[in-house]
Amino acid sequence: MIKRISLTLRIWRQESHCSEGKFEDYFMKDLSTNLSLLEALDKLNHQLIVKGQRPVNFDHDCREGICGSCGFLVNGQAHGPQNATTCCQLYLRKLQDESTLTLEPWRTKTFPIIQDLVVDRSSLDRLIVSGGFCSVDTGKVPDANEFKVSQQQAFSAFQTATCIGCGACIASCRNSSASLFTAAKIAHLGQLPQGQLSRLKRAQAMNKQMFIEGFGSCSNNLDCEASCPKEISANWISWMNNEVRQYKKDFS
């Protein structure tokens, strides 16, 4: 038998970046515990539309914990109380009956609010544009076995490549640092043969762009690691800093 619960959703409502915002409460009853939090928001929006009211705006896309679109704060925690979970993977069976959930957008100046729970994360796109890619002209398609990559090396690179760019690490950091996101993007390319030619220049360029965008510095509080839905280690921040120091040593 499917269990059903009731929830009070206390949601931040804000028409635009320039308008005043406030929390509004919505009581929802008879919710199946098989629903995800986003599906509960879908039901709420259906009710609001039927009543002629503006629905709650929130980002979503794949709903499989892959795209990173659906990030927001749930009771002050990025993506909610469950570790290694995005908002779309947070199911109501993990919540208490008749509890109150406070939903609000990422709170950082580098992610200005667009509407309700939706924020502008284009600063992360600009970080990628600054250097988070490989543009080496390799000519014809090389043989698959031409570049030797060990299993350990491939696994390590994949661990950092799992970053979905949700912004939870930045929203959780008291300094609004993008160090974990940037380190992951640098490390997954810098550990593979194709990324070696521009490795140090990539680290320097992306590190510089972080400060241009207004992200803060890392102070090793490790909130980023704790909130990351892909559990990427903060040790990669030290790896990134070593890359930047090596760049300054080689190119100064």
pLDDT for 149: 86
Which pLDDT belongs to residue 147? Answer: 75
Q: Residue 2 — pLDDT band, cuts 50, 70, 90?
A: confident
Chain region(s) in the chain for CATH 1.10.1060.10? 121-251
121-251: which CATH architecture? Orthogonal Bundle (1.10)
Coil, strand or helix: which one is 252? coil
Query: What tens digit of pLDDT does each residue of 86-128 get?
Result: 999 999 999 999 999 999 999 999 999 999 999 999 999 999 9
Q: How confident is the model over 23-66, as pLDDT tens digits?
A: 999 999 999 999 999 999 999 999 999 999 999 999 999 999 99
Q: How many CB atoms lie within 10 A of CB 220?
A: 11
pLDDT of residue 188 exceeding 90: yes
For 121-149, what is each residue's pLDDT tens digit? Answer: 999 999 999 998 877 666 676 666 677 88
pLDDT above 80 for 216: yes
pTM: 0.92
Burial pattern 30-43, b for ≥16 Cβ within 10 A else e, equals ebeeebbbbbbbbe
Confidence of residue 195 (pLDDT cuts 50, 70, 90): confident
Q: Is 7 helix (H, G, I), strand (E, B) or coil?
A: strand
Is the pLDDT confidence value at 1 over 80? no
Q: Which residues of 103-117 are buried (b: 16+ CB within 10 A; e: fewer)?
A: bbbbebebbebbbbb
Fold for domain 4-104? Answer: Ubiquitin-like (UB roll) (3.10.20)
Average pLDDT, the chain: 94
Name the H helices within the chain. Answer: 37-50, 122-131, 151-161, 168-172, 179-190, 199-213, 223-227, 235-251
Position 144 scores a pLDDT of: 62
Give the model confidence (pLDDT) of 57-68 as tens digits.
999 999 999 999
In the chain, which segments carry CATH 3.10.20.30? 4-104
Q: Which position has the higher pLDDT, 98 or 251?
A: 98
C-beta separation of 145 from 212 below 8 A: no
Q: So what's the pLDDT on residue 136?
A: 65
